[in-house]
Structure formats: C-alpha cells, structure tokens
Amino acid sequence: MIDNRLRRRELMALLAAGLGSAWLSQSALAQPKWQHDPFGLGVASGSPTHDSVVLWTRLHASGLLGADPGRDQITLRWELAHDDNFLRPVQHGQVVATPELAHSAHVEVRGLEPDRWYFYRFMSGDAVSPVGRTRTFPRPDAAVASLRLAYASCQKWEDGYFSAWRHMRAENLDAVMFLGDYIYEYPGKRSKLRSPGGGWVLTLDDYRRRYAVYKGDPDLQAMHAHCPWLMTWDDHEVQNDYAGEQAGDGGAADPSLASDFLARRMAAYQAYYEHMPLSASVLTRALAGLGQGAEMRIYRSVPFGRLANLYLLDARQYKDPQVCTRDGRRGSASVNPRDCPMWNDPKRSMLGQAQEQWLDQALAQQGATAVHWNVLGQQTLVGQRDFRAGPEQFLWNDGWDGYAGARQRLTGALQRHRVSNPVFLGGDVHENWVGHVKADYTDAASPSVGVEFCGTSITSRSAGNGKLADRLAENPHFVFAECERKGYGVAQFTPRQLTTTLRVLDDVSRPDSGIETLAQFAVHSGRPVIERV
C-alpha cells in the first residue's frame, strides 16, 4: 500500500511544478458546502505575457459542512471569458487547493489571444468568487501606442488605510508593478487607526495569518481584481533588513535573533507564493526545495510589444550582507564610506552573480532590438543620496549606495549595450524621489544613463520634509523629492515620451481620503532628462 503522506507530497510537488490546473474528476476531491464565503481573500491575476496569465485565489473561511479545510484537498472550478457575465467563455477547468499550500490556487492559463482583456472567477461547491478582470500583453513584435503602469510599495497595516488602492482603480491601468513590503512582520501593536493583531511573524502559520489580514482589505482586494499585477518583494515579507541568508534586525525584542533564520525565510517564501499570482516555475525545486535552501526565482522580464520591456529584479534574496553597521549589528545604518574599508569591495552585490549575469544578457539582447523603453522595477533608490552637507558623505548601506560596485556594473551594462531609455522604478524609502541615474557619482560631469522615479509608500511612515531642501542641494542629480505624502505613481509610456504622475492622498489616516496630483514629469525618448510638466 502506498503511504497517503507520500501521495500528498507527490501531489504537492505536481502543484508546485505547475500541473495543478490539469483536469480532475469532479468526484475525486472534496466539494464542500460552505456556511460562509470561502473567497473572503478575493481573487488576483498576475505574471502576464502575450499569451498567458496566472489566476489566484485562496479558500479562507470557517464553518465547512462535509469537509475540513485543514485536512482536505478541495476542487475549485475556474472560468475565463470575454465578458463579465461569462456568456462568451474562453477557457475553463479545475484546480486542486491543498492544505500544504494553505488551500491557495494558482491557475496558469495559456493559449490566450494577445493584447486582450478577460474576466475570470472561481467556484467551490455552490460558492462563487468575485469576478476578476485581467489582460494579456501585446506580442513582443507588436507596435504599441501606449502603456499605463502604476508602481507602488510599502503598505504597513497600522500606519494608515489602503485608500490609495481605491483611487488607483480609476487610473485606467494596464498593470500594477508592486515593488516590495506587501506585509510587515512586526507584532500587531495598538494603533489609533487599526492593528493586524498577533505577535512577531515567525512561522508559516504566522505569515499566513498576516497575509490573510492584508488580503481581507476591500480596497486592496478590489485593485487586485481590477488588472494584472507584476510582483517583487523587499525585506518585510521576511524580516526587516535581511540580506540573502543573513538575518536582519527587527529590534532588540525580535525573537528571531535567537532562532533559525533560514527556517523563517523558508516559511516566509512559501507564504509569499501561496498569496501571490505567481507561476509555479518560481519554485525552482518545487516546494520542498525551499526547505533545502533552494532559491525562489521571482526575477524576470516581460515585453509589452516593442514599446517597453519590463524587468522585475530581486535585491534581497541574493544580496551580500550590509557592511559597517554600527556596533557590529546586523541590518542597515548610515555610514561614512571613509570609515568603512569594505565599502568599495567590487565583489559585493545587490542582485547576486547569477541575477547580474542574467540581467546583463537580457540588456544586451534588448540593446540590439528596437524596444523604446527599458523599465527596471526594483526595490529601492538607485541614485546616490548623501545625507550630510559638505565634503564628508553619509550614505545608507542597505541600498544601492552600499553596493556602489554593483551599481557601476549595472550602469556600465546600460551604456555598453546601448540600452534605449532606461527607467528605474523603486520603493522602500517611503518618499517620492525623482532624478537622473549617473554613471559616476564622484564626477559632477558624469552623464545621465537613465532616469528614476522612486515612489512613496501606500501607508508606511516617513520622517517628513524637515531636511529636504538641504538634501536636494547636496544631491543635485535629483530634481524633485517629497517626504510626507502617501500614494503611488503612474507611468504612461508612448513611443515618444514617458509621463510620470505622482498621486498622493489627502490624509492616509482616513479611509475616505481624497487624492490629488503632487507633480508630473516628462522624459522624451532618446534624451535621459526629466522635465517638470
């Protein structure tokens, strides 16, 4: 007799290998009757290409009759159609939601028409999910007139309401690029606004519960259902300031300081996969591989016709540890490079050797094509930001400033491969920074090799504008910054021009907050210069 646990492990491996959307017998797996809505975490889509998209949901409710979600494998049915009434069906099928993956479902729908909008939904027993809206991208060789892309990051639950997502639905977007800190791992402290509850997020169950809190927000749910998302992560999906296999520093009270960090990272990575519309191919050695230190490869590139190539980078998983943090602590700090012998070590990397090589090859290929824009979505600020006026420097060791050799390799690749119109999108700093990416920050006459728009947070707090004027004066390659307002950015690309609009909330502490345009900028194709509109 074959051990049932072995069968379950085999099924889990098949799901992680991308076979979970295969046709299954309706009677083979549980079809529960639900007392409550099992689709309380909503639906989402992501990882779009010109002929495919990933559809996601997770069953999450109490009160099952005839099935226990903690034990049973549950069959979900899914439908994709041209219309939201599902009168013009395109594809349908079934997928298994297993307890090993928190009853999440990832359906990789292939063979779709390019540059097309679709509608989708899931069903379990007699329960039907909300209807989601998604799209495929144009063919790589297609001439495209426009791309509207929102970029956003950093949504700490207790720092504000997710009102920005409600306003984003009116932006007429093709896709959202989320650049990290989807959840925060801190214990749920009392807040004037709201608390996620629970203590430190350390175990797989902890991460699952925290994602369920965030995914339960109606504004975030509605935006996920509105268009496809392109996803990457930063540190708080695991732990503040972690770098590669080295733990970060969540503060003296963080119990992980005495725990197995790699086990925590494995749990966090699994929970991230369970809650995001990602292809199973990101699990390079299936789910079990995470427990053996295998990577979860989320970096990728995807073309949007000949108009743009979109890169999603991972500046956490392969990152060398920060250097010269005070008192021998792990994590980040502001550092005077003069006092840090390891600062200019050219071997240190933000992306890791394999990802750097992949990106260099991808940029070389794009440099030989007629793509108008090359958009690099990554976690943080790219341009050098000196916090101290005068000849002495004070730089942040957790961002690209702390990995200057890696940054020079990247900007060198952009120049060497003659990459057209590089645009960096970032997050992490909870502030809007707009500027020119230079080849050499030690040379005032160094040319601009690209432009960057580092966005504010959805909610996460920042220090404010008190020192802003001095910092802009010290860092003249930045043309604009604002350090208080929360929101997102919208980048509209055409063959001739990029127009970026910074959208900010009136008051992040109000769920009914209004929104306004903080500033707008234009970049003309072939000229890496930012102009205020």
DSSP 176: E
* pLDDT at residue 368, rounded to an integer: 67
Chain Cα centroid distance, residue 510: 25
pLDDT of residue 444: 83
Residue 16: predicted pLDDT: 46
Q: What is the pLDDT of residue 192?
A: 85
3-class state of residue 491 by DSSP: strand
Element (H, E) at 480: strand 478-482
Q: What is the DSSP string of 191-227?
A: -SS----SS---SHHHHHHHHHHHHT-HHHHHHHTTS
pLDDT tens-digit series, residues 227-250:
999 999 999 999 999 999 999 987
* pLDDT given for residue 191 in this prediction: 82
Residues 6+ apart with CB under 8 A from 364: 413, 417
The model's pTM is: 0.94
What averages of pLDDT result for each successive group of 10 residues across the chain (533 residues)?
37 45 45 87 98 97 53 92 98 96 97 98 96 98 97 97 98 98 91 91 96 97 98 97 91 66 95 98 91 93 97 98 92 95 95 98 84 96 95 96 96 96 98 97 91 98 95 96 98 98 98 98 97 97
Nearest to 140 by CA among 51, 52, 228, 50: 50
Angle CA(7)–CA(13)–CA(17) in degrees, nearest 5?
145
Residues 135-153: tens digit of each pLDDT = 999 999 999 999 999 999 9
At 70 the pLDDT is 62
